Every structure is written in C-alpha cells, then in structure tokens.
Chains A and B, each alone.
Chain A
Amino acid sequence: LAKTTQPISMDSYEGQEVNITCSHNNIATNDYITWYQQFPSQGPRFIIQGYKTKVTNEVASLFIPADRKSSTLSLPRVSLSDTAVYYCLVGERGGGADGLTFGKGTHLIIQP
C-alpha cells in the first residue's frame, strides 16, 4: 500500500476555502485516492474519491496532478462544523480485498 503524508493540523476561518494536500509518491497504477472525514467519537465518513485530474461532488473537490504523486482536497467556504480529522488513503478502489490503512490524518480546525 502506498504511504501517504499529510499535514498533522491546519487552521482556517469560516467562509474560507481550505486545501489539504496529501503526498503519495509510491502510488500504484491501479490505486485510487480516497478522502474520509471523521468527527470525534464517530466513524469515518467518505468524502470523495478520484483517480486523476479533478473530481467534484456536493461537498468537496479533489485535484490530482498528472503524475498522481499528490492530491489536494478542497473544501469550499468552510464552516465551524467542518472541524474534523481528514484522512487521505491510497489503494485499490474500496480497499480491494483488504481493510483500509489509515495514516495520522489532518486535524482541521475552523475558527469563527
């Protein structure tokens, strides 16, 4: 499984756009990039998944450069409720036959 590196923590303010970058230099050809969000004492929630270029859904966008060695999760106009830990995972779509390997994640703190 490709190892991922992301900032331990980030701060921002309500209404701002937040970009969290994840490095995954050893990503394999059939690997996807998936982001999860976790609030305290809750299970992770799937946010977005992509393979290349750009993916957008109702909550976020995911930007993946051509070399796929990194990816950026973009959260538009964050609110206080976006304070959470965000995990970047790289691997076969859905984790393949195996469970998911979570890194340390990025603790995002949104201030008023």
Chain B
Amino acid sequence: GAVVSQHPSRVICKSGTSVKIECRSLDFQATTMFWYRQFPKKSLMLMATSNEGSKATYEQGVEKDKFLINHASLTLSTLTVTSAHPEDSSFYICSARGPFLAGNEQFFGPGTRLTVL
C-alpha cells in the first residue's frame, strides 16, 4: 500500500515552454502533498506544500508564479514549471501523506527528471 506515482518520469523541453508534472496517490487519499527538487549530487529541497482544495504554500526563494501547483483532488497534485529555462533542469519529487496512514508518514514518488534545452 501507500504507492505514489509521478508522470512523466522524464521530460526534455525547449527553453520557454511549460511542463506539467503529475503526482498521484494510487491507493490512499492524500490530504497533503509536497514537492521537492533535487539537483545532481545534492539533497532534496522542499519547494512547496500542497493541501487539497487550498492554495499551495511555497518555501522561501521558490517563485509561486513560476512553479504552479494545483491539488485538485485527494489523489492528484500537479506541478507546472512555466516558461522553463535551463536552470530549472532538475529532479522533481513529490511526496504524499494521508490522514490515516500508519505513523502519518510521507511516501515519495519515483521522481521526474526535467531537462530544459
């Protein structure tokens, strides 16, 4: 149980385009989802917290107009990187937490590798 999926697993796009990444909780309802970013050989950095039905909360230094987050249902959150540039190339990982999961733990998706040319 507690499986989280992400789609796509990798994406390559041209500079200036927008890219949408989906995060789904497959077998539980996720009241809260989190988005992280990880650069090569670095640790995960929390970008934003997404609660179903409300606006996302962004960490300091993360541009909310550039990284649009929508948590439209209890099983789906989307991250849209708008007008992507090469410096946005990174590994984006989501995690989900449900209200009744044992230990209130976060379960992570497999990640999405974004490469902006």
Contacts and interface: CB of A to CB of B under 8 A. Distances in A.
Interface of A: 34, 36, 41-46, 49, 87, 93-95, 97-105
Given A46-B105, A93-B103, A102 B43 contact: yes
Nearest to A87: B43
A100 B43 contact: no
B108 interface: yes
Nearest to B44: A102
Given A43-B110, A100-B95, 20 more contacts: A42-B110, A42-B111, A43-B93, A43-B94, A43-B95, A43-B108, A45-B108, A46-B105, A87-B43, A93-B103, A95-B34, A95-B106, A98-B46, A98-B49, A99-B34, A99-B59, A100-B106, A102-B44, A102-B45, A105-B43
A99 B46 contact: yes
A102 B47 CA distance: 12
B25 to A, nearest CB: 13
Nearest to B105: A94
A98 B48 CA distance: 9
Contacts, number: 63
B28 interface: no
7 contacts: A43-B95, A45-B108, A49-B105, A94-B103, A94-B106, A100-B34, A102-B45
A54 B59 CA distance: 34
A43 B107 CA distance: 9
B99 to A, nearest CB: 10
A57 to B, nearest CB: 12
Interface in B63-109: 91, 93-95, 97, 101, 103-109
A46 B106 CA distance: 8
Interface centre among A36, A44, A97, A100 (most CB of B within 10 A): A44
Given A99-B36, A102-B43, A41 B95 contact: no
